[in-house]
Chains A and B, each alone.
Chain A
Amino acid sequence: MRDWVRTHRWESLLLVVLAITIVVNALLSPFYLGWGNFTNLFWLSNEKIIVAIIMTFVIISGEIDLSVASVMGFSAAVMASLHQAGSVPFFVAILAGLAAGAIAGLIQGMVITRFGLPSLVVTLAGLIGFRGGARVLMEDQSVGDFPAWFDTAGQQTIVGPLPVALVIFFVGLAIAWVVLERGALGRRVYVIGNNAEVARFSGVNVDRVKLRLFITSGLVAGLAGILFAARLGSVRGSLAEFYELDIITMVLLGGVSIFGGTGSMLGVALALFTVLNIRNGLGLANVDGIVQTGVIGLLLIGSVLIPNLAQRFQERSPRRATAHAPP
Chain B
Amino acid sequence: MTSKTIAERRRMRPDRIKELTLLGIIVGTVVIFGLVVDGYLSGRFFNRVSTSVVIVAILAAAQALVILSRNIDLSVGSTVGVAAYLTADFLSSNTWAHPAIAMLVAMAVGAVLGSVNGLLVAYGKVPAIIVTLGTLALFRTLISLYSGGANVVAADLPDWVLDFNNVTLFSIGGFDIRLVFVIAVAVVVILQWGMRRLRVGRRLYAIGSNPDAARQASLAAPRLTMLSFIGSGALAGLAGFMFMIRAGTISATAGAGLELEAVAAAVVGGVSIFGGSGTIYGAFLGALLINTLELSLVRVPEVSEFWRDAALGILILAAVILDATLQKRFTRRLTRQIRGPDAAGRAELTMSSAGEGGAADA
Q: Which residues of A contact B (CB under 8 A)?
A: 111, 115-118, 120-122, 124-133, 135-136, 139-140, 196-197, 237, 242, 245, 248-249, 252, 258-259, 288, 290-291, 293-298, 300-301, 304-305, 308-309
Contact = CB atoms under 8 A, between A and B. Distances in A.
Contacts of B304: 136, 139
Contact of B129 (A124, A135, A258, A309): A258
Nearest to A290: B144
Nearest to A107: B317
Contact of A293 (B141, B267, B352): B141
Contacts of A127: 260, 313
B314 to A, nearest CB: 6
A127 B133 CA distance: 16
A197 B306 CA distance: 42
A308 B310 contact: no
14 contacts: A111-B321, A121-B267, A124-B316, A132-B306, A136-B307, A136-B310, A237-B306, A242-B257, A245-B74, A291-B145, A294-B138, A297-B133, A297-B141, A308-B125
A305 B121 CA distance: 9
A297 B138 contact: yes
Given A288-B144, A297-B133, 19 more contacts: A122-B320, A125-B313, A125-B320, A128-B260, A129-B309, A129-B312, A129-B313, A129-B316, A131-B313, A242-B257, A245-B136, A245-B137, A249-B134, A291-B144, A293-B141, A295-B141, A297-B134, A301-B130, A308-B125
A137 to B, nearest CB: 9
Interface in B107-150: 120, 124-127, 129-131, 133-138, 140-142, 144-145
A131 B310 CA distance: 7
B264 interface: yes
Q: What does DSSP make chain B's interface, helix, strand, loop or mixed? A: helix
A304 B138 contact: no
Contacts of A304: 124, 126-127, 130
B308 interface: yes
A300 B133 CA distance: 8
Given A297-B133, A300-B133, A115 B321 contact: yes
Contacts of B144: 288, 290-291
B308 A132 contact: yes
A294 B144 CA distance: 10
Contacts, number: 139
Interface in B295-338: 304, 306-314, 316-317, 320-321, 324-325
Contacts of B306: 132, 135-136, 139-140, 237
Contact of B133 (A130, A249, A291, A309): A249
B216 interface: no
B126 A125 contact: no
B134 A309 contact: no
A131 B309 contact: yes
Nearest to B128: A258
B263 interface: yes
Interface of A is mostly: helix
B24 to A, nearest CB: 21
A117 B314 CA distance: 15
Name the residue in A116, A124, A249 with the highest tally of chain B Cβ atoms < 10 Å from its Cβ: A124
B310 A135 contact: yes
A297 B325 CA distance: 38
A270 to B, nearest CB: 18
B67 to A, nearest CB: 10
A309 B141 contact: no
Interface in B181-211: none
Given A122-B317, A129-B317, A136-B306, A305 B120 contact: yes
A130 B313 contact: yes
B274 interface: yes
Given A136-B307, A291-B144, A294-B141, A197 B353 contact: yes
Interface pairs A-B: 4 shortest CB-CB: A129-B313, A294-B141, A132-B309, A132-B310
A117 B320 contact: yes
Nearest to A246: B137
B287 interface: no
A249 B138 CA distance: 13
Contact of B307 (A117, A132, A258): A132
B262 to A, nearest CB: 11
A135 B353 CA distance: 39
B173 interface: no
Contacts of B134: 249, 297-298, 300-301
A124 B264 contact: yes
Contact of A297 (B125, B135, B274): B135
Contacts of B86: none
A111 B136 CA distance: 29
